[in-house]
Amino acid sequence: MSDPVQLSLDDGVATITIDRPDRLNALDGATLAAVDDALETAREDARAVVVTGAGEKAFAAGADIERMSEMGVEAAEAYCRQGHAVMNAIETFPAPVIAAVNGYAFGGGCELALACDFRVASERAVIGQTEIDLGIVPGWGGTQRLVRLVGDETARRLVMFGERIDASDAYEAGLVGEVVAHDDLAAHADEMARELAAKPRFAMAAAKEALNQAHEMGQREGLDFERRTWSSLFGTDDQREGMAAFLEDREPDFA
Ligand code: COA
């Protein structure tokens, strides 16, 4: 059987491609495990990551419905835990992750995009939390991350109606940050990743961690976290180089 996920690493940019186009990149257990492995392999060298789907039609058409149709409560709980672990690994990955949404992103595919730092959609993308029509609910973070991203009303519309919305409606809803021509998507996401990869690594990881805490902590606690994060960067190569470059009127060169 061919590998369900491809990983390429080039100059600090990792590209993770879900590669089951005949199943519209549905995320079965083996594919989730392969995403996890790819993140682990990339962890040391990647300074930015792009996640996308193989083929012309889908980013990921969700969790694998054929597999789920045979599950009982115990197997479902294990699949849910596995999905949560992979989405959390993306969310806490120490470099920014961009979802290049190249087509259908339904159910678990939408949740995969939600776990990323940025969502850029092809104008052909169609997105939705469609689980309600399968008799279930989002189970890989959709009930939580979607509310935080688009607000309660829009999240309820998506989850309760199971609506499938196109890229421009997703942009209007704040579900994706940008829509680009389909043929430009890969190059655009790669360009974003390269720009992010050239930024200071420790400061970038710290920024991501602190921004994530805004969803986890109350503001007072979050500000304490910010103070510790901010001051811990002083004395790092990132801080010395960034400030020296400004004072010397040159471009910074972050190692
Ligand atoms: N899990 C497992 N298999 C899936 C799948 C999923 N989530 N989504 C699509 N597939 C399979 C189809 O069963 C089909 O298999 P087959 O060739 O053996 O018949 C193949 O992928 C192609 O899909 P198909 O439905 O024929 O393509 P389409 O272009 O007509 O429709 C979609 C595409 C995405 C609109 C449709 O497949 C769909 O609605 N999928 C389910 C989306 C969903 O609810 N996901 C949430 C899961 S949590």
Tens-digit pLDDT profile for residues 45-85 = 999 999 999 999 999 999 999 999 999 999 999 999 999 99
Contact between 44 and 9 (Cβ < 8 Å): no
Nearest to 60 by CA among 111, 96, 10, 14: 111
Q: How confident is the model at residue 188 (pLDDT cuts 50, 70, 90)?
A: very high
Q: Say which residues have a Cβ less than 8 Å from residue 54's Cβ, sequence separation at least 6.
A: 6, 17, 18, 19, 20, 21, 25
% of the chain surpassing 70 pLDDT:
100
Return the pLDDT at 2.
85
pLDDT digits (tens, 9 = 90+) for 106-128: 999 999 999 999 999 999 999 99
**Which pTM does this prediction carry?**
0.98
User: Which of 32, 65, 126 is the best mutation target for the ligand 1 pocket, counting ligand atoms within 8 Å of the beta carbon and taking the most?
Assistant: 65
Return the pLDDT at 255.
82
Atom number in ligand 1 closest to CA 23: 21
Other CB atoms within 10 Å distance of the CB of residue 82: 16
> Domains of the chain by range and CATH?
5-197 (3.90.226.10), 201-247 (1.10.12.10)
Q: How confident is the model at residue 199 (pLDDT cuts 50, 70, 90)?
A: very high
Residues with CB under 6 A from ligand 1: 23-24, 26, 61-66, 104, 106-108, 130-131, 134
pLDDT digits (tens, 9 = 90+) for 13-54: 999 999 999 999 999 999 999 999 999 999 999 999 999 999
Q: What is the C-alpha to C-alpha distance for residues 44 and 69, in angstroms, rounded to an integer?
A: 38
User: Which of 20, 24, 130 is the best mutation target for the ligand 1 pocket, counting ligand atoms within 8 Å of the beta carbon and taking the most?
Assistant: 24
User: Look-up: residue for tokens 């655009």?
Assistant: 188
**What residues are annotated to the active site?**
63, 108, 111, 131
